[in-house]
Amino acid sequence: MSVNFRIKSLPSEEFLPLMQMTDRELSLLDAKWIDVEEEPGYPCRVTLSDAKKGERVLFLPYWHHNVKSPYKAMGTILVREGAESTHFEVNQIPSMLQSRLLSVRAYNTKNIMVNHSVTEGTQLSEEIQKQLGQTDASYLQLHFAGPGCFCCTVERV
């Protein structure tokens, strides 16, 4: 059985106030700007694409799983300066994800992890199908397997 899904990046509106802050104001939030010196390597969570050499990215802590559950979690993310939300088609895998090793975490409706795996990005579509094919998996979160940083959410459609 095939399950339709949509990959969801973070909404750009959430980060607009931060984009206007001074370096000092950002430092009070444990955030800072970083100049991109190489590519790939600075994956934006709003565009789900790598920032280009010479761009700036905002490096900040983020509640990527802000739920009532023992699995509530915060981690670091990067957001490109001026990034605008990207909306993906049903069953579309962003190219940035296809070239990375990813951790796939499946959660039920009570926000409890019910399964997990590590997969190459080239196999992500199949792994999403497998994880969402479980009757108790409500949504998935993808993380970059090496550093463990949150990447995006996958929802059933």
Per-residue model confidence as pLDDT tens digits over 84-125: 999 999 999 999 999 999 999 999 999 999 999 999 999 999
How far apart are alpha carbons 154 and 11 in whole angstroms?
A: 14
Q: Is 23 helix (H, G, I), strand (E, B) or coil?
A: helix
Above pLDDT 90, what percent of the chain?
A: 93
What distance lies between CA 97 and its chain's CA centroid?
10
pLDDT in tens, 116-155: 999 999 999 999 999 999 879 999 999 999 999 999 999 9
What pTM did the predictor assign? 0.94
